[in-house]
Chain A
Amino acid sequence: MAKKKNSWLAAPFGVWMAFFTLIPLGVVVYFALTDSAGAFTFDNLLGIGQHAGTLLRSIWLGAIATVLCLILGYPVAYSISRAKGVSQQTMVMLIMLPQWMNFLLRTYAWMTLLENNGLINKFLGLIGIGPLSMINTSGAVVLGMVYNFLPFMILPLYSVMTKIDKHTIEAAQDLGANGLNVFRRVILPLSVPGIITGITMVFVPAVSTFVISKLLGGGKDMLIGDLIEMLFAGTAVNYNVGSALSLVLMILIVVCMAVMNKFDDGEETGALIA
């Protein structure tokens, strides 16, 4: 290809990203470090301490949801990756389909199912259990997260698993590994990159959600997303504190991802080549 000659084509993109990605992040930092009068201050960041409970709860619920997604999603991803041609494509599509339906509506559907006089309790009543109070609990929030983000776990896992060379698996069998050994010694370690991607793709939206906690948690136990929403678009507008929180959330996620990637590098150099 004509080297360099076409580079200018990326210029509009560069300018756009500078204006609408870098500068906005700069503005967030600016707001986080100033008071309402525009004077420099650390108060916003130092004030985060009083929201520590919210922050920890967000991380905790997000982590539970992520682990559940991994446990639930891994076997599905594996069996899809082993399926043949058309049925594989169909299953992938079936996983993607709900994901592309507006997630407010999906969450709303759960709202109606989990209600005290909702369908699940009606059903439980028929077999003599309940009614359980499910809506407006942390459990409902985690359920909502798992439901909405499960595909984000399954798809990267699946795509890494399909890239595992079938000859590598045959080589393991050839060297005496039975089904379990093949899984434990070859497939699991080779799917680590997918696990890492899946964890990030589930954890990031789960930890920062405000919709799921509002709809299924009833807004009782606030998450960091609720707090940010409140400070920017809700009842207690304060851009400075809100920016500080956003900054902390962002740093938190960057740190998490850096840790994950480190783990990935340490264990699995070359795993992506397969």
Chain B
Amino acid sequence: MSNSVISLKDISVSFDGESILKNLNLDIDYGTFVTLLGPSGCGKTTTLRIIGGFVEPDSGDVFFSGERINDLPPHKRELNTVFQRYSLFPHLNVYENIAFGMRIKGKSESEIKDKVTAMLRLVALGGYEKRSVSTLSGGQQQRIAIARALANDPKVLLLDEPLGALDLKLRKEMQVELKRIQQKLGITFVYVTHDQEEALSMSDIIVVMNHGEIQQIGTPVDIYNEPENGFVADFIGESNIVDGIMHDDYDVEFCGARLKCVDSGFAKGEEIDVVIRPEDVVVIPVTDAKFCGTVLSSTFKGVHYEMIVEIPNQDEDWLIQSTVSQEVGREIGMTVEPENIHIMKKYTGDYAGDEEYADSAEG
């Protein structure tokens, strides 16, 4: 609690009878880059808007540096937001947009000028003071929105899918830029996105959400390597998730094969989910193989080939990646190294792939 700049305790929200957040608990530490990650409608934007003060939770408490701020209106909160579509003031030029918050606080003109200049330098747009915001490109508008929010010296910066409207290349650049800014200023960033790659490359901590509930909190490496359930595994990177049985510690059976693994602590004979990353499947001669399948298709992806393989008696086909292409229709043998077999408790909810992309509730 003492380390947390923001704490959410038992937060629940529903709109029009539809539950958006269910008893959400989250502590965010000083100076970290925290990403709320999840599919559309998972409640990540709502969580951010609760912190910003734009949504009032039905129940639960919001703490800022240990103080309860539920009743504090947005303009009194010491944090600032970078909005989804930038929301720059169209009637003000770049300078005045960045100066907006300081003018309200009644800062002196020279102070404002210094700060605006510093902020523009920070976002690499020095000299743009007099430009009208409507003449800026999307990427530039985004930088101004960041500068505008940071000019207020917030302790926490909230970012609501700020890069969603940019093209891929620009998005990559801005990811690096944002991380650099965060490290330079040392303040807390709370970042909302549905893009797992973005989350993995920028965050100190990732909070994976689905259906208004937190699925897992952890570092990018933890989340990728040790997903706690099928949803996380499926949402973070591509995965093959198959039913399996844990016969004993370090001994798992799936796809009709018994393999060694590194997991323990499950009941004997417990039904579990097994997660195998496509890049972890090793193709070997059929004769040596623990389990086999037929190649249905093979697609060149640049660095590797992506193949879909049908395995007898399995509901779903597997996705495997390999630098060597296999002939379509051929039977191949496969195996997986023990450390690449991830065992998880059975997950009963929906997988990310089943999400309907309707963002209306998050507004």
Contacts and interface: CB of A to CB of B under 8 A. Distances in A.
Interface string A163-182: 00101101111111110010
Nearest to B99: A175
B91 A173 contact: no
Interface stretch (A120-128, A133-141, A240-248, A265-273): A265-273
Contact of A165 (B73, B80, B87): B87
Contact of B104 (A167, A181, A192, A267): A181
Contacts of A167: 83-85, 87
A220 interface: no
Interface string B69-96: 0000111110011011101111110000
A189 B92 CA distance: 9
Interface in A236-274: 267-271, 273-274
A170 B74 contact: yes
Contacts of A271: 90-91
Contact of A170 (B83, B103, B104, B152): B83
A269 B132 contact: yes
Measured as residues with beta carbon below 8 angstroms from the partner, the interface class of chain B is 20 to 34
Contact of B91 (A175, A176, A177, A189): A189
A192 B85 CA distance: 23
B84 A185 contact: no
Residue of B81, B89, B134 with most chain A CB atoms under a 10 A cut-off: B89
B90 A274 contact: yes
A175 B104 contact: yes
A85 to B, nearest CB: 13
A190 interface: yes
A201 interface: no
B202 interface: no
Query: Which of A165, A170, A174 has most B Cβ within 10 Å?
Result: A174
Interface in A177-225: 177-178, 181, 185-186, 189-190, 192
B83 A171 contact: yes
Given A186-B89, A268-B91, A269-B134, A175 B84 contact: no
A175 B87 contact: no
A170 B91 CA distance: 16
B104 A177 contact: yes
Interface string A142-171: 000000000000000000000001011011
A177 B100 CA distance: 9
B143 to A, nearest CB: 15
Contact of A171 (B73, B77, B87, B104): B87
Contact of B101 (A176, A189, A270): A176
Given A170-B74, A271-B91, A175 B133 contact: no
A190 B91 contact: yes
A170 B90 contact: no
Contact of B152 (A168, A176, A190): A176
Contacts of B6: none
B148 interface: yes
A119 B182 CA distance: 71
Contact of A270 (B54, B85, B90): B90
Contacts of A170: 52, 54, 74, 81, 83, 87
B133 A171 contact: no
Contacts of A171: 81, 83, 87-89, 148
A257 B267 CA distance: 83
A269 B132 CA distance: 8
Interface string B110-130: 000000000000000000000
B134 A270 contact: yes
A101 to B, nearest CB: 37
Interface in B157-207: none
B94 to A, nearest CB: 12
B90 A190 contact: yes
Nearest to B84: A167
Contacts of B84: 167
A175 B90 contact: no
B76 to A, nearest CB: 8
Contacts of A267: 91
Nearest to B105: A176
Interface string A94-117: 000000000000000000000000
B90 to A, nearest CB: 4
Given A185-B104, A192-B91, 10 more contacts: A168-B88, A170-B81, A174-B149, A175-B101, A185-B100, A190-B89, A269-B134, A270-B134, A271-B90, A274-B90
24 contacts: A167-B83, A168-B87, A170-B87, A171-B88, A171-B89, A172-B89, A172-B100, A174-B77, A175-B75, A175-B152, A176-B75, A176-B76, A176-B105, A177-B104, A178-B75, A181-B75, A181-B104, A189-B91, A190-B89, A190-B90, A268-B91, A269-B132, A270-B91, A273-B134
The 9 A-B pairs at the shortest CB distance, nearest first, are namely A175-B101, A270-B134, A167-B87, A173-B74, A171-B87, A274-B90, A189-B91, A174-B81, A173-B75
